[in-house]
Structure 1
């Protein structure tokens, strides 16, 4: 009888753990922590070079989406809003919309963030600087860029027209992406595989008693008392088998 009570308590503890909403694994380096570290490092690099990142959660995808809102805006030398803008005014405006302060002119913008070694390694949201530091564009990926080209033209998307040797520098101001937060228990696909129940494999009635719970992807859909009752019933059947 004492042994049976002990097994019931073990089942109760296991089911309590399974029904908990989230379980965070401490001291485990995940993709999210790595991405956060990258974002922090990029923020430091940009700040040290004259940029201020007030929103470190911004990604390259956010940059490209913000930039495309200005398609069709006419080129105006010295302009920096939707009535007209030049290449560096466009870049400054896009990042300002995302809570990121960058310098106004290309010669300063080409020094912030971190340098990307080659066009092959460029990611959406990176900045391409050419013409000896006189022109800057936003890389969109898939060999496309968005820029304010010159007087008489509008902000537009074109193929990357410069060769590797014609690019003075490629700057990454924000991370290309940020991994989603994860937990040690992302979901429960079924109670039959729970490691906490492996010690009960000798109870021949356990599978039948828990048969109604097999495949339950969300333990919270049933009350804890229901789970415990089912486990206790299985235990009794196992002892009588």
Structure 2
């Protein structure tokens, strides 16, 4: 549901639930406190593409890592750009390209795509880590691991990250940031709403009203988790 539509229905749903409980409800004078409080929660549930590289709408950091791992064992070849042999920036370009993300060929160009991440501690799976002087680029895989094409005589590897912030020129996020998991489940609230839903059904209220009641329960759960 679009944010504006959801916010517009919060007051209506709240009044419906209150009426079922026999409480008095004052006429709204604008957006209610609950609607205002819920606005950032709703916004957080929307997919974010801010700062993502061009074409990154459907890609995720995990998908980048998974695709990079399909190159494990491919030999390092300077200037290589396929599974017969590949270098560090070629790996990045091919992996991102497969997922529909446009990426230039050279590390010196790749260091400018997406949006910058402040430090290694903030890195998420799929982020690109570029070393000083744009000498090398690796793909952060999460849990302190990286995927990269190291150097001549080696193959594409999945290994512990050996870089520190002192080694890093920039970290680039080329896929939308991963959303934070919800802090609470709506299930207990929805379950508590079922007696009222049964009353509505018995009174001949249509299915939309029942849907609204359950939506109200979900909104309440999210509001509680955000408080």
- Confirm or deny a common fold (TM above 0.5): yes
Correspondence for 1:101: 102
Instruction: Name the Cα RMSD after superposition.
Output: 3.5
* Unaligned stretches of 5+ residues in structure 1: 1-9, 15-25, 47-51, 199-205, 207-218, 221-241
Give the total of aligned pairs: 167
- Is 1:138–2:139 an aligned residue pair? yes
- Is 1:42–2:24 an aligned residue pair? no
Correspondence for 1:194: 196
Correspondence for 2:68: 67
Residue deviations 1:26-75, cap 9 Å, x none? 99647674364631x223xx3xxxxx31x402111111111111100000
Q: Name the CA distance, whole Å, in 2 between partners of 1:69 and 1:114.
A: 25
* Structure number with larger C-alpha Rg: 1
Q: Name the CA distance, whole Å, in 1 between partners of 2:152 and 2:40.
A: 48
Q: Name the CA distance, whole Å, in 2 between partners of 1:87 and 1:170.
A: 15
Q: Name the CA distance, whole Å, in 2 between partners of 1:79 and 1:35.
A: 40
Correspondence for 2:59: 58
Correspondence for 1:223: none
Distance 1:174 1:191, change over 3 A: closer
Q: Secondary structure at the match of 1:90?
A: helix
Distance 1:168 1:29, change over 3 A: same
Q: Secondary structure at the match of 2:48?
A: helix
* Unaligned stretches of 5+ residues in structure 2: 1-15, 21-34, 203-209, 212-227
Correspondence for 2:123: 122
Q: Secondary structure at the match of 2:177?
A: coil
Normalised TM-score (structure 1): 0.59
Q: Cα distance, 1:132 vs. partner?
A: 1.8
Q: Secondary structure at the match of 1:38?
A: coil
Contact 2:65 2:126 in 1 (8 A): yes
Residue deviations 1:188-236, cap 9 Å, x none? 53664327849xxxxxxx9xxxxxxxxxxxx99xxxxxxxxxxxxxxxx
Correspondence for 1:171: 172
Distance 1:34 1:125, change over 3 A: same
Normalised TM-score (structure 2): 0.63
